[in-house]
Structure 1
Amino acid sequence: MAWFTLLLAGLLEIGWAVGLKYTNGFTRLTPSLLSAGAMILSVLLLGHAVRSLPLGTAYAVWTGIGTIGSVVLGILLFAEPVSAMRLGCVGLIVAGVAGLKIIG
C-alpha cells in the first residue's frame, strides 16, 4: 500500500509541476489553487508513504516520478525539445527509480 501511496504522491507532483505553467506566475486563480492543492496533497501522501518506506528511497522515487512525468508532459504539451541526450537522461532516471524499487 505504501508504494501505491507513493505513486499517487508522484502523480500529484507531476500535476502541480505542470500546473505551474498554467498559473502564469500565480496570477490565475483556478490553476494556482489546483497547483497548490496538488502540492499539499502530494507532500502529505509522501509523508504517509515514508512511515513504512525508507526515506531516501521514497524521496528519490517521488522526485523521479515527478521529473519523468514533467519532462514527458513538457514535450507533449509545451513542445519542449526532444533529443537523444535528453531522452537518454530520462532513461537513466527511470533505471534509477526502478532499481530503488527493486532493492527497496
Structure 2
Amino acid sequence: MGWILVLLAAFSEIVGVVGLRFYSQEKNIRNLLIYLGGFGLSFVLLYASFNYLQLSIAYVVWVGIGTVGAVLVNIIFFGESKNLTRIISIIAIIIGVAGLKAVS
C-alpha cells in the first residue's frame, strides 16, 4: 500500500508541475486548481505513505520519480531540450533512487 501511495503522490506532483507551467503561461482559476491540487494531493499522499514506509526511502523515491517525470513531461509535451547531458542525468537519478531502495 505504501508504494502505491508514493507512486500516486509522484504522479500528482507531475500534474502539479504541468499545472504550474500552464499557470505561469495563463493565470486562470483552472490552471491554478491543477497546480495547487496536484501539489496538495501529492503531499497528502506522500504523508499517508509514511504509515507504511520509512520516511527517508519514501521521500527519496517520491522526489526521484517526480523529478524524472517532470523533466520527461516537459521534454515530450513542451519541447524542452533533450540533449545527452539531460538524458544521462535522468539515468543517474533513476540509478541513485534504485540503489537507495536496494540497500534499505
User: Scaled by the length of structure 1, what TM-score is found?
Assistant: 0.91
Unaligned runs of 5+ in 1: none
Q: Tell me if structure 2 keeps the 8 A contact 1:11–1:66.
A: yes
SS in 2 for 1:81: coil
Identity of aligned residues (%): 38
SS in 1 for 2:99: helix
CA deviations 1:9-48 (Å, max 9, x no partner) are 0010111012101012672110111221111111000001
Over the aligned positions, Cα root-mean-square deviation in angstroms equals 1.4
CA deviations 1:78-102 (Å, max 9, x no partner) are 1111111110010011111222333
Q: Distance in 2 between matches of 1:76 and 1:9?
A: 21
Q: Distance in 2 between matches of 1:45 and 1:33?
A: 17
Q: Distance in 1 between matches of 2:74 and 2:100?
A: 25
Name the amino acid aligned to 2:62: W
Instruction: Say how many residue pairs are matched.
Output: 104
Corresponding position of 2:35: 35
Q: Distance in 2 between matches of 1:26 and 1:35?
A: 12
Unaligned runs of 5+ in 2: none
User: Scaled by the length of structure 2, what TM-score is found?
Assistant: 0.91
The question of 1:20 aligning with 2:29 is answered no
- Counterparts of residues 1-104 of structure 1 (less than 5 Å): 1-24=1-24, 27-104=27-104
Q: Distance in 2 between matches of 1:74 and 1:24?
A: 14
Q: Tell me if structure 2 keeps the 8 A contact 1:16–1:38.
A: yes
Q: Tell me if structure 2 keeps the 8 A contact 1:26–1:32.
A: no
Name the amino acid aligned to 2:40: I
